[in-house]
Amino acid sequence: MPKTRPHVIVTRKLPDVVETRMRELFDARLNLDDRPMSQAELIEAVRDADVLVPTVTDRIDAAVLTQAGPRLKLVANYGNGVDNIDVETATKRGISVTNTPGVLTEDTADMTMALILAVPRRLADGIRVMETGEWKGWSPTWMLGHRINGKRLGIVGMGRIGQAVARRARAFGMQIHYHNRRRVPTAVEEELEATYWDSLDQMLARMDVISVHCPHTPATYHLLSARRLKLLRPEAYIVNTARGEVIDENALARMLEADELAGAGLDVFEHEPSVNPKLAKSDKVLLLPHMGSATIEGRVDMGEKVIINIKTFADGHRPPDRVLPSML
């Protein structure tokens, strides 16, 4: 990195306090109108920058990275996931990649719990009735949903967010089950009273609610495939605040349409920002516009992580949140 202030190009509008700090510390070029960059603009940016700060919607793939200029030494992602970046290609070209882990755990877990509550209790249906003026008064048999107390929650991916969801769900009286690449420490299982399943198939077949919390990698693409979704009981619900690509969205839509699942709460989608038309029109689905981490506090914390990673790297040290291909 140059001894002068590094030239940092930011691809999207960030919170004002974050942008102001970046201008104070770096030679920062901001995107004040928040218009997503095209691939050609991203290529122009990597040719010119010392540091690129993309977001999860920017595809920093091999086609972009192979056009990078000799100055580019760091891609400091403004986001927890790095599935938008070809980390292997970046590493081979001597470009470090960082992310912002940990800061969005509580926000995403809050939103997940909101969906776990909202879908079985038919909150979206209730809102629609009030908005259309259809409500005629209370009835003992109308707008009935299901309680979550005592129900089995199956968590797919028991990392920081999965564990935070488990803690919230325990407070609502749910029984915690999980599948993960590696079993969590015994102390964590005991705290959460969690049951581990080494077989994802067996867990899916027995749960009342499934909540997805694994990253999107080649290994997790359509992890919940059509075959696996068929294992779910017709009374089950599925919630996803992780990545849309983890679920076979077409298969999910078909099952909901055929009454083979009770409902779904989705904050992420396979082809964002496009939403499967069958999901969009289904009255069994509560859809949110990828807002699981959308809090002011979370976005500012993300920006501070990005700044720390850039400053540490510019000072000649290993950034604290570096991502390597072996970690994916």
Catalytic positions are 243, 272, 290
Non-local (6+) Cβ contacts of 107 within 8 A are: 292, 293, 294, 295, 297, 298
Please give the structure tokens belonging to residue 12: 């999207």
Please give the structure tokens belonging to residue 313: 């790297």
List, edge to edge, every strand of the sheet that includes 285-287: 195-196, 175-179, 152-156, 209-212, 237-240, 263-266, 285-287
Residue 264 and residue 285 in contact, taking contact as beta carbons nearer than 8 Å: yes
Residue 314 and residue 288 in contact, taking contact as beta carbons nearer than 8 Å: no
Angle in degrees, CA 99, 217, 83, rounded to 5: 35
Q: Checking phi first, is residue 172 left (phi over 0); if not, alpha (psi -120 to 50) or beta? A: alpha
* Interatomic CA distance for residues 230 and 199, integer angstroms: 15
- Helix orientation angle between 105-118 and 123-132, rounded to the nearest 10 degrees: 70
H or E element at residue 46: helix 39-48
Q: How close are the terminal C-alpha atoms of the chain, in Å?
A: 26
